[in-house]
Amino acid sequence: MDNTMWTRIPRRISFGLCLILSTSLPSSAQQRAPRMTGFSAQGAATQHALEQQYDSLLNKEHLASWMQRMTAQPQHVGSPHGKANAEFMVDRFREWGYEASLVEYHVLVPMPEQRELHMLEPTPFTAHLEEPALESDATSSVREGRLPPYNAYSADGDVTAELVYVNQGLPHDYEVLQQHGIDVQGKIVIARYGGSWRGLKPKLAAEHGAVGCILYSDPRDDGYFQGDVYPEGPYRMGYGTQRGSVLDMPQHPGDPLTPGYGATPDAERLPLAEAKGIMPIPVLPIGYADAAPLLEALQGPVAPPAWRGALPLTYHIGPGPARVRLHVRFSWDLVPAYNVIAVMKGAELPDEWVIRGNHRDGWVFGAADPISGMVAVMEEARAVGVLAAKGLRPRRTIVYAGWDAEEPGLLGSTEWVEHHADELRGKAVIYINSDGNGRGFLRAGGSHTLERLVNEVAASVTDPQTGVSVAERLRAQRIVSGRREPQDTGLLRISPLGSGSDYSPFLQHLTIASLNIGFGGENGGGSYHSAFDSYDHYTRFQDPGFLYGEALAQVAGRLTLRMANAEVLPMVVGDWLFHVEKYVREVEELASDMRAATERHNSLLASGAWTLASDPRRTFVPPDPKDAVPHLNFSPLKNSLFVLQESAVAFDKAMKAAGTDLEPVVRDGLNAILRDLERSMSRAEGLPERPWYRHYIYAPGLLTGYGVKTLPGVREAIEARQWMAAEEQIQVAAEVLHHVSRQLSQATAAVSGQ
């Protein structure tokens, strides 16, 4: 076991599951077999050989032809081509030896019926709101059945008001507006995409009294400032528009009419008026070609430097004189969503499930998002099927999933998870997600007990461009970006997960250990959620030759097969603990940083310097003083961390003493505890004010949307300056860590009882 990762942990403990016994294998097999947590040396050699076979079965041609077929027509939830794709997939999975079926839910997905945006003053202008056909992009001329740019779960509305530019529309932006003496009450706001999940922008605008919200992609963030625009380059052209959901997902994802349970065709449903999470004001996304005349027409104060984009104009805040009319109307019908579920029953442990999924619905043609990931899943499943047909069936059951209706709000996966919650709680050992793919570097996030598994897999897959392992290439990137020292040979850290894809119901609602993986960073962006996310765009710019599609199948296939075949589930508590220790330090630092910032804020205010330093010719409203940050009692959390470290040491000791040849009954007991370990990080009542989210280590931020908040109960209470709640949440988090300690002690007992 590599010890370099422990530099920040007080004691040198190594309670990983090191089952490789150096004396149990002939030396040739030893040399061949790479380190493989969860496997004995013999098991590792067998698994290694299996993976070599697996690799040899992969065929990039399949990815290309499936993508071309599946992206030939619009394929959003409810579309004929979407259903045809689902049926095509079911047929393939059956061919490959799976029990496969379409699993249907009926979900509320609003579809646009009216979209109009006009500037009435000072210069009449009607926004174009359409993406043009381009000669070099075959599907761009396919108009029938495609969803035009819109934001799903916007309110219906026809509003006319003065326009205000609110930058990214985040909480801090409203503080800046206040300092300029500008109020959005009764106004329509225009916000640029970026800085947060899009749904927070209209939500905050509505909370501040705005009557409508326009979202646009500024060319600085997503357009010609970044690189050549489509079709010369991959970046967003002037009318390329980012569709997307504005459902209030930080509250919960999934069908708004069936909160917390499956939207089966016969389920009882809330009346629409009682549904939560639907935006109270109309919202519409536009491209920068449509945004430019609106922004150009604004006067009022010049926007602060950080608010300015790359349009050739001086960014003003307004309000007005631009006056706009925003008119949107949607159908509010139930739409059938078809998940594809394909099961390869495990040869030895059929009731332990390894679930591997990607969504299959796109906003329009959806080549990169999501089909590039979906076809890698399919090729993976095909190869696993071939191996099974040869008699190399996995020990555990593998479930492949192609989710529908992810784009409007993770509906397909969430309904399935809610529908099968009890079964999943008992059986799921991991959920492995992807959501599209591109050229570049491995990106992995998820439960930190799986960090070592991800590292071992990444070290065993070759980067198709450079010939080194994908781990080696990622390490190089982190070294160059200054995130890592060249001499550091420790684990590559994986990111904690927030939300934004189908892992969320698994990880955060059922607290099943999860991973999210994909490649990227060298695929120029710019097609995201537009009609130009096409086969042509993808094969020219995102992953020509599907080299990284194959690499994804190699990485995800290994993850899936190792989880399916491992003797002991390859979860390493020490790696997780390393991160939890960091999170505890972070929340403590957060409080003291906020204390210092508050003191400075109040002292600045008291000194009068803000007003004196401001330009008397401009409006300046000094901010309000802030309440002092008390000293919070973090000791419960730190004491529980101490107990956790003790439990981990004891477990490690017991594992070492037990050696590697665990009795089957001991091993099964241990595996059951490991499977449930992530579950022990949750509370049945969920997080404060959002009970659907039950994971107490990872959650999407209430005010960042997709962005993760670790130790969310504590962190968000501090950020919200709710000091009493913070003290309570420190207690709750401490109890959660105690709960994990107890699980570990049980595991220790199970192993020692051998």
Contacting residues toward a second copy, per CB under 8 A: 219, 224-229, 233, 235, 302, 308, 310-314, 440, 465-466, 468, 472-473, 475-477, 479-481, 486-487, 522, 603-604, 606-613, 615-617
Least distance to a second copy, CB of residue 629, Å:
18
Give 140 or 523: the residue with its C-beta nearer to a second copy: 523
Beta-bridge mates of residue 535: none
Among the options 104, 131, 379, 406, which is catalytic?
406
Catalytic site residue 631? no
Looking from the CA of 58 toward its CB, the CA atoms found within 13 Å total 25
Least distance to a second copy, CB of residue 471, Å:
11
Catalytic site residue 24? no
DSSP secondary structure letter of residue 330: E
Three-state secondary structure call for residue 191: strand
Distance CA 398, CA 325 (A): 52
Give 3 or 465: the residue with its C-beta nearer to a second copy: 465
Give 118 or 540: the residue with its C-beta nearer to a second copy: 540
Least distance to a second copy, CB of residue 588, Å:
24
Give 80 or 608: the residue with its C-beta nearer to a second copy: 608
Give 5 or 229: the residue with its C-beta nearer to a second copy: 229
Distance CA 351, CA 425 (A): 11
Least distance to a second copy, CB of residue 77, Å:
35
Give 130 or 472: the residue with its C-beta nearer to a second copy: 472
Hey, how many other C-beta atoms are within 10 angstroms of the C-beta on 712? 28
Give 1 or 621: the residue with its C-beta nearer to a second copy: 621
The 3-state secondary structure of 51-78, one letter per residue: HHHHHHHCCHHHHHHHHHHHCCCCCCCC
Give 466 or 639: the residue with its C-beta nearer to a second copy: 466
Least distance to a second copy, CB of residue 485, Å:
8
Distance CA 635, CA 490 (A): 30
Distance CA 217, CA 237 (A): 10
Contacts of 105 (CB under 8 A, 6+ apart): 255, 262, 263, 264, 265, 336, 337, 339, 405, 411, 412, 415, 416, 419
Give 219 or 688: the residue with its C-beta nearer to a second copy: 219
Among the options 448, 695, 738, 739, which is catalytic?
695
Least distance to a second copy, CB of residue 292, Å:
9
Distance CA 18, CA 382 (A): 31
Do 132 and 149 contact (CB within 8 A), yes or no? no
Among the options 274, 635, 663, 689, which is catalytic?
635
CA 514 to chain centroid, in Å, comes to 11
Distance CA 170, CA 493 (A): 29
Give 120 or 609: the residue with its C-beta nearer to a second copy: 609
**630-639 residues labelled b (16+ CB within 10 A) or e (exposed):** eebebebbbe
Least distance to a second copy, CB of residue 467, Å:
10
Least distance to a second copy, CB of residue 627, Å:
19
Distance CA 375, CA 367 (A): 10
Catalytic site residue 514? no
Least distance to a second copy, CB of residue 4, Å:
15
CB-based contacts of 49-53 (< 8 A; 24+ apart in sequence): 50/387, 50/392, 50/561, 50/565, 51/460, 51/557, 51/558, 51/561, 53/387, 53/392
Sole residue written with tokens 């790479």: 34
DSSP secondary structure letter of residue 268: -
Hey, how many other C-beta atoms are within 10 angstroms of the C-beta on 606? 10
DSSP secondary structure letter of residue 437: -
Least distance to a second copy, CB of residue 620, Å:
11
Q: Which strand (E) or helix (H) includes residue 550?
A: helix 547-565
Beta-bridge mates of residue 106: 336
Positions marked active-site: 406, 635, 695
